[in-house]
Amino acid sequence: MVLFGLFVLLLAAVAWFITEAHLSGDNLDRYDGGKRTPINADSPPSAAHHEVVGEMASFVSADSLPSGGSRLSAIRNAMDTMGDAADLENLTRIETVAEGVPAEWIFAPNADTSQRLLYIHGGAFTAGSPRSHRPITTALARRLGIAVLAIDYRLMPEASRQDGIDDCRRAYRWIHTHGPGNYHRARRVFVAGDSAGGNLTLSLLSWIRDVGAPPVDAAVALSPATDATFSSPSLRSNLETDPMLGPPLKRVVEAPNALLLWFAWLSAKISPAHPSVSPVRGDLQGLAPTLIHVSEAEILRDDAYRYYYKALEAGSPVTLESWEHMVHVWHIFEPRLPEAHQALDHISRFLQPYLLSVPAAPEPAAMAAG
């Protein structure tokens, strides 16, 4: 019995050491407290936003979705169906494969397809697709006049977390040398993503710098998840004000943090403190110009703020804009939400200085990519 007790104590000590030294990462509290004035600080939320909040409450209720394995399928189907509201009129959509990754091009008439944006969708790494996020990709294609490539990276649990990361990296290399029209090589490349896709976007920026991949000209992260260690204060303080993520994650984030860290490690097979899954915990020097959007009401608010302040401290050109009241990734409700329209206009203004205004010279037909 004594030996058994000693064994249990030893096991507990090892678990504690692994949690503290390998899973939790450095304390980032010093990046908390600073805030920005919300873009819509002087405006109440629109009537359409109140409608969206009501619909979110209905969707995430326990009675609205099946239980068990069919729940994830229902969520995936619901997200894809939401994307069907996107307006594809006068836009070209071309299905393609980006170095093994299924994807789709979307671009407007007379678009400069030598300038391209890689879009990485959100969905908690388990849902979402190019179809679900067409309200965003179509809006960006129209506003920017460039080719938007939305990728269908591999999702958990069928694939590993690393598989999704690798898909983004392969697609990024591919987009530099493949286009949808008459131009083969890219003259400008941008990266954008929301939520989980925002995480993958920010992780990709560090990887591009570290491996010397072709540089990205600018990036956009919408309501990004930047820290897989569950340490951001708003994960708990904003549970009641986030109608989309708050209800389904309430029980999760109220669990002991050590248990959450072990669950994250075992499910992703990557330490939650590793920069590939927690970009805020990496070196943020020398990164591309980046715009971050976040809602003051969502649980990922402090993920965005922590990344912003740490990147500023490291000298990287990062801009953060916040909105009051908005649901998580409210941009996806374009054109229904006036606030979504406004936020997408801000993205367009941010990227405009990095776009080339001189049309590219056509390349030989043999170099054109389909």
The answer to whether 195 is a known catalytic residue is yes
Facing residues of 149 across strands?
105, 118
Q: Could you tell me if 225 and 206 are in contact, meaning their C-beta atoms sit under 8 angstroms apart?
A: no
Catalytic residue among 49, 176, 274, 328: 328
Closest CA to 307 of 241, 369, 227: 227
Facing residues of 275 across strands?
none
Nearest 5 degrees, angle CA 257-CA 261-CA 267? 140
How far is Cα of residue 354 from the mean position of the Cα atoms in its chain?
21
Two tokens at 168?
Answer: 């983004």
Catalytic residue among 114, 132, 232, 298: 298
Report the distance separating Cα 285 and Cα 209, nearest Å. Answer: 9
The answer to whether 328 is a known catalytic residue is yes
3-class SS of residue 216: coil
Ramachandran assignment for 312, one of left (phi > 0), alpha (psi -120 to 50 degrees), beta (any other): alpha
Taking the CA atoms of residue 349, residue 355, residue 357 and residue 361 in that order, the dihedral angle to the nearest 10 degrees is -160
The answer to whether 46 is a known catalytic residue is no
Catalytic residue among 24, 129, 132, 195: 195
- 336 class by beta-carbon count within 10 Å (0-12 exposed, 13-18 middle, 19+ buried): middle
Between 134-144 and 338-351, two packed helices, what is the crossing angle to 10 degrees?
Answer: 50
Sheet of strand 92-98, all strands in order from the earlier edge strand to the far edge = 92-98, 101-107, 146-151, 112-120, 188-194, 218-222, 290-295, 318-323
Name the pairing type of β-strands 101-107 and 146-151: antiparallel
Q: Could you tell me if 337 and 43 are in contact, meaning their C-beta atoms sit under 8 angstroms apart?
A: no
Q: Which residues are catalytic?
A: 195, 298, 328
